[in-house]
Chains A and B, each alone.
Chain A
Amino acid sequence: MQKTDTKTHGEKVPILELVSSSMFRHRGITAVILFVVLPVLLWFWYAPPWNVTGSFIPSVKYLGQVFGVLGFSLFTLALLLSVRIPLLETIFGDLASAYRFHQTLGGLSVIILAFHPVFLLVPYLQLSNTEAALFFLSNGDVAKLAGLAGLFVFEGAIILTYFFRLPYHLWKTTHRFLGLAFLFGAYHAIFISGAIRTMPVLQWTFIAFSVVGLLAVLYRVVFHRAVVKRSPYRIASIESLGSSVTHLVLEPLKEPLVFRAGQFVYLNFRGTSMRDEHPFSICSRENANKLVFLSKSLGDDTSRFLHLKPGTRVEIEGPYGRFSFRNGGKRQLWIAGGIGITPFLSLAASLPEGYNVDCYYVVSQEKQAIALPFLKAAVSDRPIRIRLWDTSRSGIMTTESLEKDNIDLSTFDDFFVCGPVPMMKALQRAFVRRGFHPSRIHSEVFGMRPDS
């Protein structure tokens, strides 16, 4: 049974949601450090670094070996963080944070592993170029070849992710090859003839990591669809609102979804031209029977939205996310950029008494404020002041421009921001520069891709 707290907000709220996001962040960072540092410490225990000091060549080789250990651990953890399980939200605060860690650790892993063979080659260079080349080509050693193949696939998939904006379904397919890269890497880590053969505890740790990583891949690629519970809904209505925004209403076929304001779900339109499931913020009031979504076409599957017909079956996975007014004090400033207004529609419609909110809806032109009527309807008679910010007239939003708009930042307990990533990052930095603790700035960034 979930523990509840009735003192802070005058209503029953899961106690975890009352813990600040910074605590979640620290918990996540601690988990990452423990996971990654353990194998490196084991390596140091078996092969203390002071045993190789004083000589350049062994030091470089040693560094190459440590990079291998560290890179493999980071790769394992990055895979683990790609799994959509509630435990990750408990550790990292929300799924979006776990995915940000996933992206960062994946990037760090490929950087570190890229230099793993380079450092190991250096000692052979002093012998001869040919010795170094033959070492690199593995000399028929299967474990070395597996490592090399894994590195190729890993780097290829990361290059496609970072530097080519592939359509979502293609990117997803290429990203699945990371499982293959990990399989090769795991074989390399376990069977490579090297110092690790003399380190049984580390070897068993790598075996455990390999199992965990491969299970994560299997779960994500194969079992996820079968294992995860989905709520069946159907499309009640769908209409275009202009500016590439679609208004979608879903009604439950069985029990309605239980969710909290500000959360998001994955929608799966099976049997339609929309091949992939996508995350969407729920715009409806908390635990509403019908679910409302606003979708902006991003040029991928979401552009096929309008081809969907009322009556189409939709399976919903979730809810996920902890973007909630409950994570802050009573006096809040909400800033929504463009389609980032969606979670605020739900928050506004669900805001209980006692809160005092200023809500900015930032658009590039006034006519782009498609969701304004929905926002006004959601606010109803709640103490939320809606302010439209047209950047074509008022310029980019900054803390200074907010103050010119008669906003006294010092009166706010917490800031909630959702919108384009550059806007959110700029505002987060600006608030921190003004002396607000990062834990008071809540943002909703979502996407598996680093460019999303």
Chain B
Amino acid sequence: MLRRTVLISLFVSWSILTAILLAGLVFRDRSVSSLAVDNIQTPLKNTITREESQLSNTGGTTPLTSEELARHNGSNDCWLLIDSKVYNVTEYLPRHPGGVFIITPFCGKDASIVFQTKNGEGAHSSRAWDLLHLYSLGDLNGTTTQERIDPTRQL
């Protein structure tokens, strides 16, 4: 009985792990950016068109103040301050490997240390940092555009 369970368990676990490895390495993402453009309802598209939008949008800027940051404090509208930059991670929340609830307590707050240390669990990968930058709104005390805040308006 135990012998059969060991056999089935090892077969199932290694089938899954091998499939993930093959899928991940053979059909490797071209880059975080392309992943975001192709697969995610993406703020990157907004990033790509950022220059154009800034050129075309002379009005509708929003100041990235501490007060504005604090207003975006829920899972439906989550901004984070990380290393003096403000990020709108609302769309990314459901995809976070650690789950939504790891992040939501820090929505509208300074999450620099939390992000750097994975809330005490270690450090995020460089890919995670790359991914984070796709959601950047700008520097704290700078300004951002409505299109960067709500990318769907741009699409």
**Chain A residues in contact with chain B, CB under 8 A?**
51-52, 55, 57-58, 61, 103-104, 107-108, 110-111, 114-115, 117-118, 121, 123-137, 139, 141, 155, 158-159, 162-163, 193-195, 197-198, 450
B23 touches A129 (CB 8 A): yes
Please tell me which one of the listed residues B13, B98, B118, B122 contacts residue A58 in the complex, with CB atoms under 8 A apart.
B98
* Residues from 18 to 64 in B contacting A, C-beta threshold 8 Å: 20-21, 23-25, 27-29, 35, 39
- CB within 8 Å for A126 and B99 given contacts A121-B17, A134-B125: no
* Stretch in B3-11, B76-84, B147-155 touching the partner: B3-11
Q: Are B99 and A52 in contact (CB under 8 A)?
A: yes
Contacts of B24 in A (CB 8 A): 128-134, 136
Are B7 and A163 in touch, CB under 8 angstroms?
A: yes
Say yes or no: is B101 at the interface (Cβ < 8 Å to chain A).
yes
Q: A107-B5, A193-B123 are in contact. List 12 more A-B contacts (CB 8 A).
A: A121-B20, A123-B96, A123-B97, A123-B98, A129-B23, A130-B35, A131-B127, A134-B125, A136-B17, A139-B125, A193-B122, A194-B122
A5 → B minimal CB distance (Å)? 38
Report chain B residues within 8 Å CB of A125. Answer: 20
Q: Which residue of A lies closest to B15 (CB)?
A: A118
Instruction: Given A126-B95, A193-B122, answer yes or no on A162-B127 (Cβ-Cβ < 8 Å).
Output: no
| Those 9 A-B pairs whose CB atoms lie nearest each other, nearest first | A133-B24, A193-B122, A58-B99, A123-B97, A114-B13, A129-B24, A129-B23, A111-B9, A130-B29
Question: Can you list 13 A-B contacts (CB < 8 A)?
Answer: A61-B98, A110-B6, A111-B6, A115-B9, A115-B13, A121-B17, A128-B39, A129-B29, A132-B24, A133-B20, A163-B7, A194-B122, A195-B121
Cα(A396)–Cα(B23), bound, Å: 54
Counting chain B CB atoms within 10 Å of each CB, the highest count among A58, A126, A158 belongs to A58
Residues of B contacting A57 in the complex (Cβ-Cβ under 8 angstroms): 96-99
Contacts of A163 in B (CB 8 A): 3, 7
Q: How far is the CB of A50 from chain B (nearest CB, A)?
A: 12
Chain A residue at minimal CB-CB distance from B100 = A55
Which residues of A lie under 8 Å from residue B122 when comparing CB positions? Answer: 141, 193-194, 197
Knowing A136-B17, A197-B122, A198-B120, the reply to whether A130 touches B28 (Cβ < 8 A) is yes
Q: How far is the CB of A51 from chain B (nearest CB, A)?
A: 8
Q: How far is the CB of A344 from chain B (nearest CB, A)?
A: 29
B95 contacts across to A, CB distance below 8 A: 126-127
Task: Decide: A134 near B127, CB < 8 A? Known: A55-B101, A128-B39.
Answer: yes
Alpha-carbon gap, A61 to B20, bound state (A): 16
Q: Within 8 Å CB of A127, what residues of B? A: 95, 97
CB distance from B126 to the nearest CB of A (A): 9
B120 touches A162 (CB 8 A): no
Give the CA-CA distance A155 to B13 in the complex, in Å.
11
- Within the complex, what minimum Cβ distance (angstroms) separates A174 from chain B? 16
Complex: how many Å from CA A324 to CA B118? 59
> Which of chain A's residues have a CB closer than 8 A to the CB of B29?
128-131
Q: Are A118 and B99 neighbours in the complex by a CB distance under 8 Å?
A: no
Chain A residues lying within 8 Å of B113, measured Cβ to Cβ, are none
Residues of B within 8 A of A121 (CB): 16-17, 20
